[in-house]
Structure 1
């Protein structure tokens, strides 16, 4: 899919009128450092679901001991988590085609990053049997490193109105793939086991707490599509330098996707599939760049800019007040290939 859009962006430039291509083509290797708060957002930490088949199997085992009327139910509380801001060093480049007034630019960037994550998940299980109710509280704490891979593709058109102002717009595609293997430690009470033991006469009562060690494997990904439009302003402040500001508004959509999660008991070797569907999200917000362009020669220029993209949710599990923010420094060395 990513290769398809990469080729589509290049093909779009080839469709630019021949007069524009004859005017100027420039290449720009780029290096970007993006800070992404996607793992630090306050809302939308959905609870892991209890697998229905696992709950049914456990219920059958308890009924065999506590009687056919025994009823087991469970609920996962809302989890909490902490994570560091993801820092993406990204490498790539841009190709621009156009004349003095209208220019088309296609940019492709790729980067990898790591971050530290900690997830706390509470689970409540209740057993009704023999006229009694027993409730257990289990808390699982998982911690470890997560790794991410990110691809950004962007096609932008710019039309100069005069020497100081221009209209800009385009489309953007972001893809992020992430995975983590977390070490988990769980602590739970033994009330259900004790009630089952009393009703079945199977053994002594344990008034302590049970400890367990697990491994939590997580895999997920997201794709975000954006349409954006706005304007740019240019201010020369030296013979070979000018400052500029790009301001755009975007409309973005992230389709629903599947988040894979598998919890493995390190002592018993059993595994639970906790995978869940992740909701779609539609967002809007500003896309702002502030930079300085320095001409190093007739065909060489250094572009230094700081860019911030804000995604305020309009739909999905998060509220408008809990945006995703990408911001960072962008460096580019532009080489004009001439007419």
Structure 2
């Protein structure tokens, strides 16, 4: 990452903010921060600069294709060639599908899915001429296993996975050196649960084991500097994805019985709580949300995945050593 230019969308809070800091820590020369909330972006920029990198704040709505293209032009004009583009911006709504308006459904889709499409297209326009660069899509276990009350978000994440697979095949067909990867996240302690739109009068929460945004950020930076088609973050994400491939019908019933109550705390929230679906809302939250006590700062599964060559070598050595110890006594007895 030394001296390279990185673009992170949705960089004002949560995983995007943690990833921006992580890229600065990894030696990036400049981290371009894209999101709607300028004040919070400026705060992220201070953290990036404190880590030793330059920061470029670009206020943009990722649902606006023309604005995304202008943002990419500005980044290259002011910072230099984009080496890494991270598509992380998202929006969601907690609600039964029958209570979601067409405008709400469209907005979640435009930000989460089309924002990723527009970001990828703008990145590719610049990377193709250089035949170099990396695009990282921030996904979710929900890109494989949907859950009730998040139909718009789950649909968008599924769409990102399908879109990314198609783009990857095109790059392979063209013998392109551009790499594209997708990082599938588990539940993460981000502020989205504080300001997302919800029609359930209880406080939303991440499902299952919760991880800090820095865990996701480590996977994102690794994906930008190594090539792997997909990275699963956290054992719960792995289990969810694998079980859905094996027993999707069973999981449909499990989700129907358990996933409703697991997505909400007992804390009530007012029906008129401000949300960020169409406009940013002020809040004290930065990278972390309000689930600090539950959130894990590390993932043994992720460490094992990112170091699988080392783990494989150690296991192979252990197997050979065990076999040798098993056979040696028999040879001695024969003598």
Interval containing the TM-score (normalised by the shorter chain): under 0.3
Please, what TM-score do these two structures have when normalized by structure 2?
A: 0.24
Higher strand proportion: 1
Structure with greater Cα Rg: 1
Higher helix proportion: 2
